[in-house]
């Protein structure tokens, strides 16, 4: 049986996690809004993930809202000592399922308390400030007021570690002047390579990089080429995309999400998939192919 431990480990601040984790976003309803169609199935996915060795779960109280955190609490509380829950703040959901910035110190403080309450913990392992640039891309601008507000909550003991999401290199540096940053979570995959330099910079500092949307932004031609490589390896395109990310840099932590036990097992199996140099070169070339 493939286990997340096959992917090795990396540090999240003072915690150590398996590099193959799990993202809880897809456990909410359609559009990450409302409850899942089958809550029992969602609980089963969470429990099996942890039983198979996942000890890094990514979530947020604005998934649902409140849905995924309450499912995590139902499925896994009381949490074992090795489990690290990483949440994010910086947005709220409208009644129409819209995503709205919530970046003031008061809104961030309220979000931290929502996460504490719905996860059922006294302190949050890691809180990422989700900067609201464009939909899935960062834009320049100061984040000092927001990150300072979270650093103050950390000093009060409500947060153990701080991270960032949807940020630029300059925003990472700005945040580091305020408090330690243990992880950065941005859009990055085989064909979306804007963060190549940032990943290497963070790796040199021992800071984790957590890519989201491992298959997001592929053109039809790029998807076809990935599927061709996957077919020759006897794997799924998602497994190959995850294996490429795993091989890209030692500080990359994977958080593939799914509400399906079958897909969960397939994603975890990617931890054991090793790509030969020739395959890595072929996959690198996929990202350069035009539509």
Q: Is 209 noted as a catalytic residue in this protein?
A: no
d(CA 6, CA 270): 9
Number of other residues whose CB lies within 10 A of the CB of residue 281: 10
Q: Return the bridge partners of 161, or none.
A: 126
Q: Which of 22, 63, 79, 209 is catalytic?
A: 63
d(CA 125, CA 151): 13
CA–CA distances in Å: residue 93 to residues 31, 38, 65, 104, 126: 11, 22, 7, 15, 21
Residue owning tokens 């929502």: 114
Residue numbers annotated as active site: 63
């Amino acid at each position: 049986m493939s286990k997340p431990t096959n992917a090795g480990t990396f540090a999240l601040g003072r915690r150590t996690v398996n590099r193959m984790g799990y993202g809880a976003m897809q456990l909410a309803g359609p559009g990450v809004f409302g409850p899942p169609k089958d809550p029992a199935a969602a609980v089963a996915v969470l429990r099996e993930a942890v039983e198979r060795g996942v000890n890094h779960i990514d979530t947020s109280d604005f998934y649902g809202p409140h849905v995924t955190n309450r499912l995590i609490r139902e499925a896994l509380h009381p949490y074992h000592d090795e489990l690290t829950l990483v949440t994010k703040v910086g947005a709220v959901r409208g009644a129409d399922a819209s995503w709205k910035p919530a970046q003031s110190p008061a809104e961030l403080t309220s979000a931290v308390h929502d996460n504490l309450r719905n996860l059922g913990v006294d302190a949050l392992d890691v809180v990422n400030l989700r900067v609201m640039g464009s939909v899935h891309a960062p834009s320049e601008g100061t984040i000092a007021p927001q990150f300072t507000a979270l650093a103050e909550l950390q000093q009060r003991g409500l947060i153990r570690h701080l991270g960032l999401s949807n940020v630029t290199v300059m925003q990472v540096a700005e945040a580091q002047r305020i408090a330690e940053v243990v992880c950065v979570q941005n859009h990055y995959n085989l064909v979306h390579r804007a963060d190549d330099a940032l990943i290497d910079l963070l790796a040199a500092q021992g800071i984790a990089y957590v890519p989201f949307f491992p298959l997001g932004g592929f053109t039809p031609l790029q998807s076809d080429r990935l599927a061709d490589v996957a077919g020759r390896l006897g794997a799924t395109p998602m497994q190959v995309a995850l294996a490429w990310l795993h091989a890209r840099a030692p500080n990359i932590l994977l958080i593939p999400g799914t509400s399906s036990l079958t897909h969960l097992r397939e994603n975890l199996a990617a931890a054991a998939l090793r790509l030969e140099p020739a395959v890595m070169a072929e996959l690198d070339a996929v990202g350069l192919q035009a539509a």
